[in-house]
Amino acid sequence: MKTELVRIGNSRGIRIPKPLIEQCGLERTVELSVENDRLVVSPGRQLRQGWAGEFEKAGPAGNDELLLESMRASEFDRKEWKW
């Protein structure tokens, strides 16, 4: 499929037909890259994508403790640190 570049301010853009957008799973944002002198448009990555699964792999949080609570204050903490 051929398409023309259109002027958008000082840049150029292309119109992507709806069937191609749906077929590629493109949404509001996309990733652009150049591979072998070709422009590649990929679905945009969501921030923190996959984090929930990684947290589940780490196991239950039942035995977690706050490490800072078990640390003793240093001399710096007692004499110099100011909020």
- Residue 73's identity, in one-letter code, is A
pLDDT score, position 64? 67
Q: pLDDT tens-digit profile of 6-54?
A: 999 999 999 999 999 999 989 888 999 999 999 999 988 777 778 888 8
Q: Copy the structure tokens of residue 15.
A: 């119109």
Q: Quick check: is 79 in a domain?
A: no
Check: CB of residue 46 under 8 Å from CB of residue 30.
no
- Residue 62's identity, in one-letter code, is G
Q: What is the mean pLDDT of residues 47-63?
A: 80
Q: Quick check: is 27 in a domain?
A: yes
- Spatial distance between the Cα atoms of 3 and 17, rounded to a whole number of angstroms: 10
Residue 57's pLDDT band (boundaries 50, 70, 90)?
confident
pLDDT score, position 38? 95
Q: Quick check: is 55 in a domain?
A: no
Q: Quick check: is 83 in a domain?
A: no
Q: Quick check: is 80 in a domain?
A: no
Range of the domain at 29: 1-45
pLDDT score, position 63? 67
CATH number of the domain that residue 21 is part of? 2.10.260.10
Structural domains of the chain, count: 1
